[in-house]
Amino acid sequence: MVSAQARAEIDRMVAGRREAAARPSSPRTVEQDRRDWEAAARLTVLPKGARFQGVDAGGVKSEWMEMPPVNRDRVVLLLHGGGYSSGSPRTHRKLAANLSRAAFARVLTPDYRLAPEHPFPAGVKDALRAYGWLLDRGVAAGNVVVAGDSAGAGLALSMLVALRDAGAALPRAAVLMSAWTDLTTSSPSHGTNRKLDVQVTRQGLREAGALYMDGRDPADPMASTLFAKLAGLPPLLLQVGGDEVLLDDSRLLAERARVAGVDATLRVFESMWHVFQFHAPEVPEAQAAMNDIAAFIRAQFGD
């Protein structure tokens, strides 16, 4: 049974999809998607007390977000979603503010390079540069939690795998919301949840993945981390909506991580949609997810 607020949001998304389907078909461009999302973000009301500021993080344009009071030694490195071709620190300010409050930490959101102008592995390199900048600024690796939603969650895992392979210091933990871990879109939930997902389609993911990979194999384990060796990664919290086509991208990743000896916690929020956490605190289920993130991070730091 979903809350009235969640039902209203689901109905709104369904109506929007029907309206779009009724319009004369004309393929949307990446530029249009970016402009529309940025325009919508300008209308988003941030939580009271949220403070943000631009910063150059080792050559990667980024943004700090704080919800005081915070422990300034603690940082969440937030890698935004958007199919690797859209999204920015601006589109994710509200999520960053809620993560800052949940983690009692500053949040750094890199404006990493996007496809198709900058295909794989540009985003991975930018995430690594931003993380390295934090360490160079005196932030201990053990005081960093990396977080991401959708493609950003996949990017967070790519970064962790690259750091582990290089023998570098790893963040304390990772929070992965509606993670996109399989660019081949082969997970069973693409079929079982096809009619339930009100936002994401297999075709849309394949198109976004093709832009990101630019002719490379979508099964490359550095991009499709479901196929990567996962041993040695830090504790993971995976949250996913029960109605998502990407449900099994999280479920299978959690299973394989556990087999590899990784502390992986999977939370499936029944009847929820892709990155429903965006709707905290207005939607109770989204706020419950943020509370779950807060508890996970507190546990990692022994708070």
Q: What is the pLDDT of residues 203-229, one digit of tens each?
A: 999 999 999 999 999 999 999 999 999
As a whole number, mean pLDDT of residues 13-23 equals 81
- The catalytic residue among 80, 92, 274, 279 is 274
Amino acid at the residue 55: V
Q: What is the pLDDT of residues 93-124, one digit of tens each?
A: 999 999 999 999 999 999 999 999 999 999 99
Domain membership flag for residue 54: yes
Tell me, what's the pLDDT at 32?
95
Name the token pair of 95.
């999520």
Instruction: Look up 274 and say whether it is catalytic.
Output: yes
Query: Residue 116 belongs to what domain range?
Result: 4-13+50-301
**β-strands 264-269, 236-241: how paired?**
parallel
DSSP letter for 50, please.
-
In 3D space, the residue among 114, 136, 122 whose CA is nearest the CA of residue 56 turns out to be: 136
Torsion of CA 36, 177, 159, 207, to 10 degrees: -50
Q: What is the pLDDT of residues 145-199, one digit of tens each?
A: 999 999 999 999 999 999 999 999 999 999 999 999 999 999 999 999 999 999 9
The 10 Å CB-count burial string (b at 16+, else e) for 50-71 is bebeebebbebbbbbbbbeebe
Average pLDDT, the chain: 96
- The catalytic residue among 150, 158, 189, 250 is 150
Q: State the Cα–Cα distance between residues 247 and 243, nearest whole angstrom.
A: 7
144 beta partners: 75
Domain membership flag for residue 22: no
Domain membership flag for residue 19: no
Tell me, what's the pLDDT at 54?
98
The CATH number of the domain holding residue 111 is 3.40.50.1820
Domain membership flag for residue 26: no
Q: State the Cα–Cα distance between residues 216 and 119, nearest whole angstrom.
A: 10
Whether residue 25 is predicted with pLDDT greater than 70 in this model: the reply is no
Q: State the Cα–Cα distance between residues 231 and 236, nearest whole angstrom.
A: 12
Q: State the Cα–Cα distance between residues 159 and 152, nearest whole angstrom.
A: 10
Tell me, what's the pLDDT at 22?
73
pTM tops 0.85: yes
Domain membership flag for residue 236: yes
Domain membership flag for residue 28: no
Domain membership flag for residue 40: no
Q: How far is CA 213 from CA 85, 152, 223, 240, 261, in A?
A: 11, 15, 8, 24, 29
Domain membership flag for residue 240: yes
Whether residue 92 is predicted with pLDDT greater than 70 in this model: the reply is yes
Tell me, what's the pLDDT at 26?
66
Q: What is the pLDDT of residues 234-275, one digit of tens each?
A: 999 999 999 999 999 999 999 999 999 999 999 999 999 999
Cis peptide, bond prior to residue 281, ω within 30 of zero:
yes
User: Number of folded domains in the chain?
Assistant: 1
- The catalytic residue among 224, 244, 279, 285 is 244
Instruction: Look up 178 and say whether it is catalytic.
Output: no
Q: What is the pLDDT of residues 77-91, one digit of tens each?
A: 999 999 999 999 999
Tell me, what's the pLDDT at 209?
98
Q: How far is CA 244 from CA 19, 180, 192, 247, in A?
A: 21, 11, 9, 5
Q: State the Cα–Cα distance between residues 199 and 268, nearest whole angstrom.
A: 17
Instruction: Look up 190 and say whether it is catalytic.
Output: no
